Amino acid sequence: MSSVAMSDPTALFDPDDWLGDETSLSTGASGLAASGDDELALDEKRVLLDDDEGLKSRKVHVHSADKAYYAQKYADIVGTGMKRAYGGPLAWVELFSGPGRLRVVEEQRFRAGSPVEALGIRDPFQHYVFCDLDPECIASLYARVGGRPGVHVLEGNANSANLHDRIASIVPRNALVILYADPQGLDFELDAIRYFAARYKHLDLLINFPVRGVIRALRAGHEGKASRVLGHEAPLELITKRARADWGPSVRTWFERQLRAMDYDHFATEVIKSHSKRSPLYDLVLASRDPRALDFFQKATNRGVSGQYTLDFGG
């Protein structure tokens, strides 16, 4: 279900849309929390394979393709809706871009990745910046999209000041920017969001926020990574002395507070679920300073990946 939270239309999450008691979050032999869900484990490994184009593709489960679908829909709606309504340039900045092509396990076929999809919208943006840390991903992505006018493919760590400055040198300060981040696990730190939020007045955030991954990391003793993602000095406090059903809402609420401190007031979310068990894996979060973004996001998610309209009981 696509939702702007039911009880508060300005809130980031529906507090009732979280893990049920049946969801396993046990600790594995390695000391890392195991989800009991092979779909999540595969996507966290970000497996690359040689494809029929002589390049690399990313092996994913179908729920990961769902994220790319919604990102493309949002890009398309913004591109068309704002090409005349906004007085400046439009920019799409994508971190963790990957190689630009997916191999979906359940379908046994290739699909275009989110960078290729973002470039294929009806009214393309003036600026595109695609980034990834993996040189193999960058080489394949450049072969697919590099060299086009307004397109930049950068290798670098999504949390590094050097990469941030390179992006800022490309994207004009007066641009309406969509920052899309699909991190591998807990690899996107709050300070990176702060950097772009401080520099771009018109910045929409489209983030796959790993609520479940944060909880798994905290239970496994990896407070450091969770701390950098959440901007919390002692993030274990978010789940200790709480009923298990409150862990998700407490993590989500804290993250929302950090975004509100950056002057974000308009939020929506689409919970990405496992196709095999229908358990929540990620929250695709939209945060914006412009209320029009909520309407765009609802239109992007209202028709699900199956092509059927989803029910939305949001306020």
Query: What pLDDT is recorded for position 43?
Result: 61
Query: What pLDDT is recorded for position 131?
Result: 98
Q: Average pLDDT for consecutive 10-residue bins of the chain (315 residues)?
A: 44 51 34 45 76 95 85 96 95 97 93 95 98 97 96 98 98 98 92 98 95 90 93 94 87 95 95 75 91 95 57 33
Query: What pLDDT is recorded for position 36?
Result: 45
Q: Give the separation between CA 193 and CA 270, rounded to whole angstroms.
A: 20
Query: What pLDDT is recorded for position 61?
Result: 86
- Name the one residue in this structure whose structure tokens are 């308009």: 266
Query: What pLDDT is recorded for position 20?
Result: 42
Q: Give the separation between CA 189 and CA 183, rounded to whole angstroms.
A: 10
DSSP states of the chain: -EES-SS-TT-S--TTSS--TT---EE-TTSSEE-S-HHHHHHHHTEEEE-TTSSEEEEE-HHHHHHHHHHHHHHHHHHHHHTTTSSS-EEEEEES-TTSEEEETTTTEEEE-HHHHHHTSSS--SEEEEEES-HHHHHHHHHHHTTSTTEEEEES-TT-HHHHHHHHHHS-TTSEEEEEE--SSS---HHHHHHHHHH-SSEEEEEEE-HHHHHHHHHTT-HHHHHHHHT-SSGGGGTTTS-GGGHHHHHHHHHHHHHHTTT--EEEEEEEE-TTT--EEEEEEEEESSTHHHHHHHHHHHB-TTSSBPP----
What is the maximum alpha-carbon separation in the chain? 56
All residues at 6 or more sequence positions from 262 whose CB lies less than 8 Å from its CB, including other chains: 193, 194, 197, 198
Query: What pLDDT is recorded for position 24?
Result: 40
Query: What pLDDT is recorded for position 63?
Result: 80
Domains and CATH numbers, the chain: 2-19+30-302 (3.40.50.150)
Q: What is the pTM of this model?
A: 0.85
Yes or no: say if 265 and 249 are a contact pair by the CB < 8 Å rule: no
Query: What pLDDT is recorded for position 244?
Result: 84
Query: What pLDDT is recorded for position 46?
Result: 76
